Amino acid sequence: MRPLDGITVVALEQVIAGPFATRQLAELGARVIKIERPGVGDASRAYDRTVKGLSSHFVWTNRSKESLALDVKHPAAAEILRRLVAKADVFLQNLAPGAADRLGLGPSLRDRDPRLIWCGISGYGPAGPYAEKKAYDLLVQCEAGLLSITGTAETPSKAGIPVADIAAGMYAFSSILAALLQRGRTGTGATLDITMFEALGEWMGFPAYFTAYGGTPPPRSGAYHATIVPYGPFHAGDGGTVFLSVQNEREFARFCEVVLKKPSLVADPRFASSPARQQNRQAFQAEVEAEFARMKTTEVIERLEAADIANARMNDMKEFWRHPQLEARGRWREVGSPAGDIAMLKPPFNLDGMEPRMDPIPALGEHTGRVLHELGYSEPEVEALRREGAI
């Protein structure tokens, strides 16, 4: 038994934000029917061919779903969609601005079924001066100011993963869960308006408040923390790099005494408080580098562990894939796909031993016939729709 068993989600979704939200609903037990364009499918199917010939983006966000191939602009699609939505608990779309309304799939769907939970994910929302503006992850990172605080002093940088898409997908997921809980109490669904810009904006809280009330933005500091010292990468004598973080004055004292073997630094007025260390960042980092240069990476980590100072190695993706912690916690599963079994990470749900659903990644249109039969279409009618190019 999973929490969302018996819940049906119809998703007119594409790329990352919508699919990331609905994949998680599926893993908690919901039936997710994904509508894709016949012959082409979700655009992310074509982004790359690195996972046994499949796209890494699509593999990541679309397991445990059913794929219904449907040309939503075909004259026959309106009736199919009407029957399909009538069976749904949740309808989610993340089309281009205005597209869902033009198809008759906007929030007005709830006029026919007040129990429906309608969720729209967009770049900037249905109102305001940016309502019609196209939005992609990098562009939203720019508008939300993320690039202005990320990277080095010389070069702003985007995040290495689609954080605006992921943020929007996570808020859509959590909002749908909240709406289902509310519907269980009131019997009434909800209209959810999730935007990439506002979702990422919430994640920008620290630099936004820092700037609004401090007068200047936090500096771009590469892999170092903008305001906490020491926090970031330091080089050992054997060429290795160790990342560490000191969060408070007690930890700072232990760091100086146990790791650096220089207890006098604790009382040094240049370093005696967090603001002082921030002002004298380069001088303190020189003290750290000088001591670390005399040690191997393993010795640095041993001292950090002895002082109970948080630390990490900088893993690449291959090292992450083989990480012993993932192995020890049993986080890997084999998932079916049109290209055969694929090793995939379990989602980070840990609900009292519940096994999340990890069903195969669907082929384009794999479930079209079955879904249409459930909607009352006969086999001859399904074949006619295929000939007409509707499915």
User: Domain ranges in the chain?
Assistant: 8-204+344-388, 231-314
- According to CATH, the topology of domain 231-314 is formyl-coa transferase, domain 3 (3.30.1540)
Question: What type of residue is 307?
Answer: A
Helix (H, G, I), strand (E, B) or coil at 373: helix
Report the pLDDT value the prediction gives residue 314, as an integer from 0 to 100.
Answer: 87
Between strands 117-122 and 231-235, the pairing is: unpaired
Chunked into runs of 10 residues, the chain (391 residues) has average pLDDT values of 96 98 98 97 96 97 98 96 97 95 95 97 96 95 96 94 98 98 98 98 96 93 91 94 95 96 95 94 95 95 96 93 96 97 95 92 98 97 96 96
Q: Which CATH number fits domain 8-204+344-388: 3.40.50.10540, 3.40.309.10, 2.40.50.140, 3.10.180.10?
A: 3.40.50.10540
Question: What type of residue is 282?
Answer: Q
Strands in 66-69's sheet, in edge-to-edge order, are 66-69, 31-36, 8-12, 90-93, 117-122, 190-195
The secondary structure element, H or E, covering residue 93 is strand 90-93
CB 259 within 8 A of CB 309: yes
Report the pLDDT value the prediction gives residue 297, as an integer from 0 to 100.
Answer: 94
Report the pLDDT value the prediction gives residue 353, as an integer from 0 to 100.
Answer: 82
End-to-end alpha-carbon separation of the chain, Å?
Answer: 33
Half-sphere exposure of 376 (CA within 13 A, CB side): 8
Report the pLDDT value the prediction gives residue 226, as an integer from 0 to 100.
Answer: 87
Report the pLDDT value the prediction gives residue 385, as an integer from 0 to 100.
Answer: 97
Fold match between 8-204+344-388 and 231-314?
no
Q: CB-based contacts of 382: which residues, under 8 Å, 6+ apart? A: 368, 369, 372, 373, 391
Measured in degrees and rounded to the nearest 5, phi and psi for residue 384 equal: -65, -40
In 154-296, where does DSSP find H-type helix?
Answer: 163-186, 196-203, 205-214, 249-254, 274-279, 281-292
